Structure 1
Amino acid sequence: MTTKSAHIAGKAFVLGKNVDTDQIIPAAHLVYSLTDPEERKLYGKYALSGVPSSESGLPNGNIPFINGDACESEYSIIVASDNFGCGSSREHAPACLEIAGIKAIISPSYARIFYRNSVDGGFLTPYESVGDLSEAVQTGDELEIDPAIPALVNHTQNTSHRLKPLGSVADIVNAGGIFAYARETGMVPK
């Protein structure tokens, strides 16, 4: 069984509020195939390319999510303010973040369709924070998510912040998506 709700550790990338799906993956980059391995990498390369550079990596701004021609980011956890993933309902948004190396997002609130696409597609784990952590965490901080508590531990700042439990989506996250969950539970044939 996949354990996507296990401990997740890595560097933080901080974003503000109302990051929409056009900022996560601009429509101009929706031309690549998710099934072709070479084209799939390009979704990682262009992840968050629509975020204005003045807001990238807040609060300092102008921090690239992807360096140069790389297709993966050095960051593993996005910490954002309210309403992450608003905008259109494209599944490419959580997919491109996973392709870029994101394992989890922490936000006080999500657009419902982005949240469900993240969970159902098995792309990444969307944790809800208790309060807005986008000012308490700095881009580059070393973070660890402990799902058992649940809490976000900031090793750089030696702080800890409570997260809301995943609740009923935990089993889907652990299975690796809604179809894997349905196969595991016998809802559909294996």
Structure 2
Amino acid sequence: MGYIMEKIEGKVWKFRDCIDTDVIIPGRYLRTFSLDDLASHVMAGEDPKFAEKVQEGDLIVAGWNFGCGSSREQAPVALKHAGVSAIVAKSFARIFYRNAINVGLPVIIADVEAEKDDVLRISLEEGIIKNVTTGKTFQIRPFKKFMQGILEDGGLVKHYLKIKEKG
């Protein structure tokens, strides 16, 4: 399932600076290959009830250096499987950023004004984030076409298989 639609819209979950991969999916939960098990513990290091409360389509808004720490791919996988449709942060750890794109989870570098439970509408193609709750609009750098293709196809593996299938 790809995420690039006319708009990505969802309720905000707000997090601090320097959310590391141990907070996103603590190491003690990495002994499983079940996506449901991983998702049931997502963000447990910051909010133990997050996985119970997050809903399909919700968004994360965070500060600087989201996804720092280890290079574990399970972090963006768990977020996506839990229903998070995109993450907006002031900056991302480089490996987390690419891992998120590779699994088809949009990660947007932006400094937006948003509080928990605000609703954001994001257009990656146009480069616009609108806080529907407050009416404020924020410009972002539009995603390059090849990145949009990866996200539209649901991740790098699905994107590669689609290209390979076309010959």
The question of a shared fold, defined as TM-score above 0.5 by the shorter chain, is answered with: yes
Amino acid at match of 2:153: A
1:76-131 C-alpha deviation (Å, 9 max, x unpaired): 11011111101001011001111211010011211111111111122x111111xx
Q: Distance in 1 between matches of 2:154 and 2:129?
A: 22
Task: Indicate the RMSD between aligned Cα atoms, in angstroms.
Answer: 2.1
1:173–1:89 distance in 2 versus 1, CA, 3 Å? same
TM-score normalised over the length of structure 2: 0.88
Where structure 1 has 5 or more consecutive residues not aligned to the other structure, the ranges are: 35-39, 57-63
Q: Which residue of 2 aligns with 1:4?
A: 3
Question: Which among 128, 131, 144 is matched to residue 151 of structure 1?
Answer: 128
Question: Which among 167, 171, 177 is matched to residue 149 of structure 2?
Answer: 171
Q: Distance in 2 between matches of 1:184 and 1:81?
A: 35
Q: Which residue of 2 aligns with 1:22?
A: 22
Question: Which among 102, 113, 116 is matched to residue 84 of structure 2?
Answer: 102
1:121-165 C-alpha deviation (Å, 9 max, x unpaired): 22x111111xx22xx210000111122321111111111111221
1:22-50 C-alpha deviation (Å, 9 max, x unpaired): 0000001111223xxxxx32222211111
TM-score normalised over the length of structure 1: 0.78
Runs of 4+ in 1 over 6 A off after TM superposition: none
Aligned length: 164
Identity %, equivalent residues: 31
Matched, 1:182 2:155: no
Q: Secondary structure at the match of 2:122?
A: strand
Contact 2:65 2:92 in 1 (8 A): yes
Contact 2:2 2:155 in 1 (8 A): no
Question: Which among 38, 41, 48 is matched to residue 43 of structure 2?
Answer: 48
- Greater CA radius of gyration, 1 or 2? 1
Deviation, 1:189, is 8.2
